[in-house]
Every structure is written in structure tokens, then in C-alpha cells.
């Protein structure tokens, strides 16, 4: 390899490490145009394309690497990871085990295999793989995170706590450990200690989005008369809907309250008491003196189970609602036939990392067809398969934004939903809601409770074991049949 070609490859590696993906890809391709037979470079390209989410191109680069050198272990691991992203768990496991047969101490392959086994519902085997990594690398943070996730999925809380303590001896200053401990505390209803730990998320790359770099100081609960405070959203739509409830308490301490929210929520959250102005994310912000994330407000107010601001509704219908007339006609028709109006959502966003756990197969809702006198309305977006329920009407074509969704929800007598943003919206509007949860829920729903201290109109139905939606739906059917 000539010195100039070596320099091209070094440049590509440097750009890759710096996170400059497109520039790194250009440099890799310039190198491969000159040195097309270096399998390791094709493997590097496949790994980069995998990170970029360009799976077809990643697969092609990986195949080129393996044709040139079937023993290229990095390409073999990449092949396994690509197949995992494609949902082909059997093929992924084969590639990863093949790599480990050659080099049993290949950490990336073993951790990827553990994640593959988790997805194929073999957590005990996954635990064994992670334990072998920890044997070689006790301080491997990814191994710690995967092991914590395994214990969480199985409800092994003592083991989860013990793993936190084990890792704390290796990295006592880790903000991720503080966050994990806060997660557990909140799951068990230990407030406000849990909120204190939850603040550590702000110090852990990848846990907060979008990332903010404001020059204005963070508000910590002090009175702010005559000043403007920016409340900015963090993470998902459901988080915004859940924590905007604090705006009234914020307003009581000072001057003007500006809320920055996701564009699709802007008109809706503007109805929340305490909000003076809403700015859609991406639009210019007005001048402000202080700022704080919505998700930090429970910590600011030292919230405990007895002081959660749970008065509902705290969201109202915006003045302008798309498709108002069509919605009104559909709802009036159901009412004229004397039927109970029930809204349904059975799946969340497929991009959510726990979507497979929290979403139901549509067929699982089939037993609810036994309920008499029901007009079923689907609020489900992005899914073509429908549950086998009589005369189910899909509202999806009309749900152009959350204002429209809120208006349609206001016509429901009951909502049955999995853990999605719509559950938070229904709760915030005070609509009777049955929330269907996987075996291990998000921290905000805590453990074992049938109610939610956040939403008084909500009743919780939990899987008795991982994946058991049948028991959940049967309990819903029994309860609705006897009401």
C-alpha cells in the first residue's frame, strides 16, 4: 500500500472516530477506489453504514469484506449486527457465534450475541454471555448496561441493585449509575430521592434529546417576578404531555412562562394553565432569562407521591380543530345508535426501543368483540393490520395533529391503549382510560399498582408474565362485562 493510500485510510479512521460520518464515508470510498481488495476497509465501511442506518449498503460492504477474507472477524460481527437490525435473529446469532468460535474473547461479538438472545427471549443465556465479558472486562460499561436491562426485564430487583453496587466500586463517579439508581427509586415510588438521581440523565450522553446549550442559567425553583422563564421539552411526546402539568406551579412563582414544544403539540399544550406562550421547536425563541427542562420540574418542586399535581383535565381543546365536523358526525352517529364509544390504540412507535414489548398484536384484542353495544374507534397510526372487532372505524386519516386527536378523544366514553403518547393525552384530559402494560413497565407507572397517581381517570392492567397479553385482555373483558 502506497503512503498516499495509507494517509487516506488514516484520515477515514480519524473522521470516523470524530463522528463525522459523511466525511468519513467519502474518505473510505476514496481509499477503496485505490485499494479495493482490503477486506478490513470494507468492514470499516459496513460498520459506519450500519451506524448511519443505511442497512442495504452496509450489507453490501460486509459481503464484499467476507468475499475477500472469510476470516475477517469484524465483518462477521457487523454481519450479525446488520441481521439483528433487520430482525433476522437466527442469521444474526449464527454470524456472531461463528466469530466467537474463532476468538472467544471478542467482546463486541459477545455483547451483540447477548442482545440477540434478549430479543429471542432467552435472557438467562444472554446473562451468561454478559457474565463472560465481565470476567474479562469488569469495567465494561456496555456489559453493565445490558446486564441491568436483563435484570430489569425479569424483575430481579435485588440483582439489579447488586450490579449497580458492583459497578460503583469500579466507577464511583459515574453519572449513569446515579441515573440508574434514580430509575429504580422512581419505579418503586421513592420520591423525591428518585428525582434527584433522575437529574443525572443530563450528564449522560445519549439519554437526553434534543441536546441544549443555553447560556441562560437553569431555574431551580426560586421566584422570578418580572422575568421570563423558558420551559423546554425533552425526549418524547408523552413526556411533554405528562410534565406540562407543572406549568401552573411554575407560573405561580413569577413572571412570563414560555414553553417550547414539539410542533405537533404546540396548539394543544397552549391550553395548559400557566403557559403564556408556546414556541414550536425550530422556531426562533423570544428573549428569556431562565430555562429548565420539563422533565426536571418534579425535581425542582421536590415532588413526592402525595404532592403530584394530579388535577385533571389540565389540557383543553384548541379553538381550531381540523376535521371537527367529520368527527362530530361520526360520534353523533354512534350515539344515535345507543352505543358506547371506545377508542383503541394497540401499538406504539416502531422506533421505540421497547416497542416489541409494549405493543400488542392486533389479533390479541379479538376477545373484546364479545362486548355488546360498543362503537369501536381506532386511534392507531402507522399500522395497516386491524383488530377483529365489529364495525371498527379507523380515525387515522383524520388525526392530522394532536388537536384533532384531542377532539376525537373528547367524544370517547373510554380509551383502551398501550403505553403511548395517547395514553398521556387521554389522562391529561381526564378521560377514563385503561392502560395495558408489559410485564416490566416504564418507571412512571411504578410496580403492582392498578391506579396511577399521575392520572386519576386511569386504570392499569399489567402482564402477569412477559409477553402474556391474553391474560390482560381477558381481565379487561371481564371487568367491562361486569361494569
Average pLDDT over residues 415-428: 97
**Residue 468: per-residue pLDDT:** 95
Whether the CB-CB separation of 234 and 418 falls below 8 Å is answered with: no
Average pLDDT over residues 44-72: 95
Q: Rounded to two decimals, what is the model's pTM? A: 0.90
Q: Using 50, 70 and 90 to split pLDDT, how confident is the model at 206?
A: confident
Whether the CB-CB separation of 256 and 276 falls below 8 Å is answered with: yes
Q: Is it the case that residue 1 has pLDDT exceeding 70?
A: no
pLDDT in tens, 186-198: 999 999 999 999 9
Which 3 state secondary structure label does DSSP give 441? coil
Q: Is it the case that residue 351 has pLDDT exceeding 80?
A: no
Residue 369 burial (CB count, 10 A): 15
Measured distance CA(467)–CA(430) in Å, rounded: 29
**Residue 296: per-residue pLDDT:** 98
H runs (alpha helix) in 199-350:
237-243, 247-251, 266-269, 297-300, 324-336
pLDDT in tens, 117-173: 998 889 999 999 999 999 999 999 999 999 999 999 888 999 999 999 999 999 999
**Residue 2: per-residue pLDDT:** 65
In 352-447, at which residue ranges do the beta strands (DSSP E only) sit?
374-378, 393-394, 414-418, 433-437
Q: Using 50, 70 and 90 to split pLDDT, how confident is the model at 3?
A: low
DSSP 158-185: HHHHHHHHHHHHH-TT-HHHHHHHHHHH
Q: Using 50, 70 and 90 to split pLDDT, how confident is the model at 378?
A: very high
Whether the CB-CB separation of 108 and 120 falls below 8 Å is answered with: no
Counting Cα atoms < 13 Å in the Cβ hemisphere of 182 gives 20
Amino acid at each position: 500500500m502506497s503512503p498516499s493510500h495509507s494517509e487516506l485510510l488514516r484520515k477515514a479512521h480519524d473522521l470516523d472516530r470524530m463522528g463525522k460520518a459523511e466525511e468519513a464515508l467519502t474518505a473510505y470510498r476514496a481509499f477503496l477506489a485505490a485499494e479495493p481488495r482490503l477486506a478490513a476497509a470494507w468492514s470499516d465501511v459496513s460498520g459506519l453504514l450500519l451506524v448511519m442506518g443505511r442497512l442495504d449498503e452496509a450489507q453490501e460492504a460486509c459481503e464484499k469484506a467476507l468475499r475477500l477474507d472469510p476470516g475477517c472477524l469484524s465483518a462477521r460481527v457487523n454481519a450479525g449486527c446488520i441481521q439483528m437490525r433487520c430482525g433476522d435473529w437466527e442469521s444474526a446469532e449464527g454470524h456472531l457465534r461463528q466469530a466467537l468460535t474463532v476468538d472467544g474473547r471478542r467482546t463486541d461479538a459477545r455483547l451483540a450475541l447477548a442482545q440477540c438472545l434478549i430479543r429471542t427471549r432467552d435472557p438467562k443465556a444472554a446473562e451468561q454471555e454478559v457474565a463472560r465479558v465481565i470476567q474479562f472486562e469488569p469495567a465494561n460499561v456496555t456489559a453493565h448496561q445490558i446486564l441491568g436491562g436483563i435484570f430489569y426485564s425479569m424483575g430481579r430487583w435485588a440483582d439489579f441493585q447488586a450490579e449497580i453496587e458492583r459497578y460503583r466500586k469500579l466507577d464511583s463517579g459515574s453519572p449513569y449509575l446515579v441515573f440508574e439508581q434514580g430509575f429504580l427509586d422512581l419505579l418503586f415510588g421513592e420520591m423525591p430521592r428518585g428525582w434527584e438521581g433522575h437529574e443525572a440523565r443530563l450528564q449522560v450522553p445519549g439519554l437526553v434529546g434534543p441536546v441544549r446549550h443555553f447560556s441562560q442559567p437553569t431555574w431551580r425553583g426560586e421566584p422570578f417576578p418580572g422575568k421570563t422563564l423558558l420551559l423546554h421539552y425533552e425526549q418524547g411526546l408523552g413526556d411533554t404531555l405528562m410534565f406540562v402539568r407543572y406549568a401552573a406551579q411554575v407560573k405561580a412563582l413569577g413572571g412570563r412562562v414560555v414553553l417550547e414544544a414539539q410542533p405537533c403539540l404546540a396548539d394543544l399544550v397552549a391550553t395548559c394553565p400557566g403557559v403564556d406562550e408556546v414556541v414550536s421547536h425550530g422556531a426562533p425563541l423570544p428573549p428569556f432569562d431562565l430555562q429548565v427542562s420539563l422533565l426536571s420540574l418534579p425535581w425542582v418542586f421536590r415532588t413526592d407521591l402525595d404532592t403530584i399535581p394530579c388535577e385533571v383535565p389540565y389540557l383543553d381543546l384548541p379553538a381550531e380543530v381540523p376535521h371537527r365536523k367529520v368527527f362530530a358526525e361520526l360520534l353523533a352517529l354512534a350515539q344515535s345508535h345507543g352505543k358506547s364509544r371506545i377508542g383503541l390504540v394497540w401499538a406504539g412507535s416502531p422506533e421505540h426501543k421497547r416497542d416489541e414489548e409494549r405493543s400488542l398484536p392486533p389479533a390479541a384484542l379479538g376477545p373484546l368483540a364479545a362486548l355488546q353495544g360498543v362503537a369501536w374507534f381506532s386511534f392507531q397510526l402507522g399500522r395497516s393490520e386491524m383488530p377483529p372487532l365489529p364495525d371498527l372505524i379507523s380515525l387515522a386519516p383524520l388525526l392530522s395533529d394532536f388537536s384533532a386527536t384531542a377532539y376525537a378523544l373528547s367524544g370517547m366514553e373510554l380509551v383502551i391503549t398501550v403505553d403511548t403518547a395517547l395514553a398521556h393525552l387521554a389522562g391529561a384530559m381526564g378521560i377514563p382510560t385503561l392502560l395495558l402494560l408489559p410485564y416490566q413497565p416504564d418507571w412512571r407507572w411504578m410496580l403492582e399498582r392498578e391506579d396511577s397517581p399521575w392520572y386519576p381517570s386511569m386504570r392499569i392492567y399489567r402482564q402477569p408474565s412477559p409477553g402474556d397479553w391474553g391474560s390482560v385482555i381477558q381481565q379487561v373483558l371481564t371487568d367491562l362485562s361486569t361494569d
